[in-house]
Chain A
Amino acid sequence: MIDTVNPIIAPENLIYAKSEVLLDNIMHYCPGCSHGVVNKLIAEVIEDMGIQQTTIGIAPVGCAVFAYNYLDIDWQEASHGRAPAVATGVKRLLPDTFVFSYQGDGDLAAIGTAETIHACNRGENIVMVFVNNGIYGMTGGQMAPTTLPGMQSSTCPFGREASRDGHPLKITELLAQLPGTSYVTRQAVHTAASVRKTKKALRLAFENQKLNKGTSVIEVVATCSSGWKMTPVQANKWMEENMFAYYPLGDMKNE
């Protein structure tokens, strides 16, 4: 609906538009999915830093498996959970490139826990973007290691119970303990202010990689409105009320 009558809509007045690093493919994510915002922020950071030609992304298995369809950079698909291991290989062979892995909680905190922890412990000079929505979104909303106590999912319809299902895994806190990590933070993308903060965190992580400081981990507490069976706006509210209590936002380590 381009309003040709409105005089404000002119190229010289443009202050915000889609990043040029983003391709024109329509994202497959559900309406209101946090993945779309995080993909966009990575694209904006890559554009701002002018590193489109030298950035290599490692795509995960999960909802973000098609990330290579959306960002116009080099990508390598990894098998489930192995993105940090693949990122290690790519970064060691091509040390002048910027390498980041993009993973969800099922990928990074469940099947890929070993790769995640050892890559961070070795202090691999990579950026790990971790999108945590507390659920296995792609396969139909099953319980993940990060599912909150009492939270319902398709495999715990009466709520997660710690005595039976274990406790939610705060893997970002774990990673902050390791000497190999240099920057560990937890952010969110539910409001415009938090989106801008997350963008700053991503920028710092990529700057750290330029300085060979070690692993940077950016956790983004995210929503899965389809898996949580809520509207996107309700999901954001639910996240603020429940997820942030268990996964408090802020920097855990910044060296």
Chain B
Amino acid sequence: MRNIDKIVNDMAKARGAVVVDSVICKGCGLCVEACPTNTLQLAAEVNDKGYNYSYMAAPELCIGCANCGAVCPDSCIAVYRAKA
């Protein structure tokens, strides 16, 4: 039980950041759906191909869980995580 508390505590302390390659992103929105903290949103602007690419709308909320990277079909997401 203590172990679980520790994991939860560590997760709460983690700060994350997501870098989306906006040139490759096709704006499918699966990362936005997979994000547990609503960090990601689709941009109002479009990239060269006309897609509303994904970006970190609320960088302070990111916990670096990498769910967005896991579901990204175009492998255009890199995730960083550091202890807060």
Chain A interface residues toward B at CB < 8 A = 1-3, 6-10, 13-19, 22, 26-27, 29-37, 40, 189-192, 195-196, 225, 231-233, 236
Contacts and interface: CB of A to CB of B under 8 A. Distances in A.
Nearest to A32: B28
Given A14-B80, A16-B66, A233-B29, 13 more contacts: A2-B19, A6-B59, A8-B80, A10-B80, A16-B79, A30-B26, A36-B73, A40-B75, A191-B34, A192-B34, A195-B71, A196-B70, A233-B33
A36 B79 contact: no
A40 B80 contact: no
A27 B74 contact: yes
A32 B73 contact: yes
B73 A15 contact: no
A36 to B, nearest CB: 3
Main secondary structure of the interface of B (DSSP, over half): mixed
B55 A1 contact: yes
Interface of B: 15-17, 19-20, 22, 24, 26-30, 33-34, 51, 55-56, 59, 64-67, 69-82
23 contacts: A1-B19, A1-B55, A2-B19, A3-B19, A3-B56, A6-B17, A8-B16, A8-B81, A13-B17, A15-B79, A15-B81, A17-B69, A19-B75, A22-B75, A29-B73, A31-B26, A31-B28, A31-B51, A35-B73, A37-B72, A195-B71, A196-B70, A236-B33
Given A6-B59, A9-B80, A32-B29, A27 B73 contact: yes
Contact of B71 (A1, A29, A191): A191
B55 A13 contact: no
Given A2-B19, A13-B81, A36 B66 contact: no
A225 B75 CA distance: 18
A16 B74 contact: no
A229 to B, nearest CB: 15
Contacts of A16: 66, 69-70, 77-79
A6 B17 CA distance: 8
B76 to A, nearest CB: 8
Contacts of B69: 16-17
B11 to A, nearest CB: 13
Contacts of A17: 69, 78-79
Contact of A34 (B55, B73, B76, B81): B73
- Most chain-B CB neighbours within 10 Å: which of A13, A34, A35, A196? A13
Nearest to B35: A192
A126 B56 CA distance: 41
Contacts of B33: 233, 236
A13 B75 contact: no
